[in-house]
Structure 1
Amino acid sequence: MHKYLPAIGFSKLNNDTLNDLLQEIKLRPDYQESAIDFEGNQFVEIRYMVTDNVGLVLRGIYNDDDEFILDYYYPTFFGETVSLVNDVEIIKQSDKDNYQVMVDEIRLGVNLIFQLQNMGEYLRHNIMDGKSADRSVSLSALSLDGKIILPLYDNEKSRIKEKMNNQKRIDLVVQAREGNEEALENLTMDEIDLYQRISRRVAREDILSVVTSYFMPYGIENDKYEILGDILDVRNVVNHLTMEELYLLVIESNDVVFEVCINKNNLLGEPLVGRRFKGTIWLQGTVNFD
Structure 2
Amino acid sequence: MHKYLKALGFDNIQTRSDLKNLLNEVEEKCTHQTIVSYKPGEDFCELKKEYGQCMGIALCGGLDEREYFDPYYYLPYFEGSGISTYAEIAVERKIEKEQYLGMCEDSKIGISLIFTIQNGIEYMRERQAGFPADPTTSVTLSGLALSGMILLPVSKDERSIKTEKEASDNRKMLINAARNGDQSAIETLTLDDIDTYSQVSKRLANEDVFSIVDTYFMPYGIECDLYSIMGEILAVRKRKNIATGREVYQMKLNVNELQFDVCVPVSETMGEPEIGRRFKGTIWLQGYINF
Report what 2:192 is aligned to. 190
CA 1:46/1:156 → structure 2, altered by over 3 Å: closer, same or farther? farther
- Give the alignment of 1:130-145 within 5 angstroms: 130-133=133-136, 135-145=137-147
Q: Are the equivalent residues in 1 in contact too, given 2:42–2:65 (CA < 8 A)?
A: no
Query: 2:2 and 2:178 mapped to 1: Cα distance?
Result: 43
- Give the alignment of 1:224-243 within 5 angstroms: 224-243=226-245
Report what 2:4 is aligned to. 4
Over aligned residues, Cα RMSD in angstroms?
A: 1.7
Query: 1:2 and 1:8 mapped to 2: Cα distance?
Result: 11
Query: 2:285 and 2:241 mapped to 1: Cα distance?
Result: 20
1:51-103 alpha-carbon deviations (Å, 9 max, x no partner): 11100000002234323211111211011121000000110000111000011
Q: Are the equivalent residues in 2 in contact too, given 1:147–1:277 (CA < 8 A)?
A: yes
- SS of 1:286's equivalent? strand
Q: Are the equivalent residues in 2 in contact too, given 1:48–1:57 (CA < 8 A)?
A: yes
Q: Are the equivalent residues in 1 in contact too, given 2:41–2:64 (CA < 8 A)?
A: no
Q: Are the equivalent residues in 1 in contact too, given 2:147–2:268 (CA < 8 A)?
A: yes
Query: 2:135 and 2:198 mapped to 1: Cα distance?
Result: 40
CA 1:136/1:39 → structure 2, altered by over 3 Å: closer, same or farther? farther
Report what 1:258 is aligned to. 260
> Which range moves more in the overlay, 260-269 or 57-66?
57-66
Q: CA deviation at 1:256?
A: 0.4
- SS of 1:271's equivalent? coil
Report what 1:78 is aligned to. 79
Query: 2:172 and 2:69 mapped to 1: Cα distance?
Result: 48
- Give the alignment of 1:23-62 within 5 angstroms: 23-37=24-38, 42-62=43-63
Q: CA deviation at 1:179?
A: 3.0
CA 1:196/1:37 → structure 2, altered by over 3 Å: closer, same or farther? same
- SS of 1:229's equivalent? strand
Q: Are the equivalent residues in 1 in contact too, given 2:42–2:63 (CA < 8 A)?
A: no
Q: CA deviation at 1:17?
A: 2.8
Counterpart of 2:165 (choices 163, 166, 169) is 163
Query: 1:125 and 1:194 mapped to 2: Cα distance?
Result: 44
> Which range moves more in the overlay, 13-22 or 221-230?
13-22
Q: Are the equivalent residues in 2 in contact too, given 1:32–1:46 (CA < 8 A)?
A: yes
Q: Are the equivalent residues in 2 in contact too, given 1:38–1:123 (CA < 8 A)?
A: no
Q: CA deviation at 1:111?
A: 1.1
Structure 1 vs Structure 2: percent identity of aligned residues? 39
Q: Are the equivalent residues in 2 in contact too, given 1:91–1:130 (CA < 8 A)?
A: no
CA 1:222/1:41 → structure 2, altered by over 3 Å: closer, same or farther? farther
Query: 1:155 and 1:224 mapped to 2: Cα distance?
Result: 33
CA 1:31/1:203 → structure 2, altered by over 3 Å: closer, same or farther? same
Give the residue type in structure 2 aligned to 1:42.
D
Give the residue type in structure 1 aligned to 2:68.
E
CA 1:38/1:64 → structure 2, altered by over 3 Å: closer, same or farther? closer
Query: 1:200 and 1:40 mapped to 2: Cα distance?
Result: 66
Report what 1:219 is aligned to. 221
Q: Are the equivalent residues in 2 in contact too, given 1:114–1:223 (CA < 8 A)?
A: yes
Give the residue type in structure 2 aligned to 1:208.
F
Report what 2:104 is aligned to. 103
Query: 1:77 and 1:164 mapped to 2: Cα distance?
Result: 34
Report what 2:274 is aligned to. 272
| Unaligned runs of at least 5 residues, structure 1 | none
Runs of 4+ with >6 A deviation: none
Q: CA deviation at 1:18?
A: 2.4
Give the residue type in structure 2 aligned to 1:50.
Y
Q: CA deviation at 1:39?
A: 8.8
Query: 1:156 and 1:93 mapped to 2: Cα distance?
Result: 47
Q: Are the equivalent residues in 1 in contact too, given 2:142–2:261 (CA < 8 A)?
A: yes
1:152-188 alpha-carbon deviations (Å, 9 max, x no partner): 1123432232122111011012222323333233223
Give the length in aligned residue pairs: 288
| Unaligned runs of at least 5 residues, structure 2 | none
Query: 1:109 and 1:165 mapped to 2: Cα distance?
Result: 14
Report what 1:125 is aligned to. 126
Q: CA deviation at 1:128?
A: 7.2
- SS of 1:114's equivalent? strand
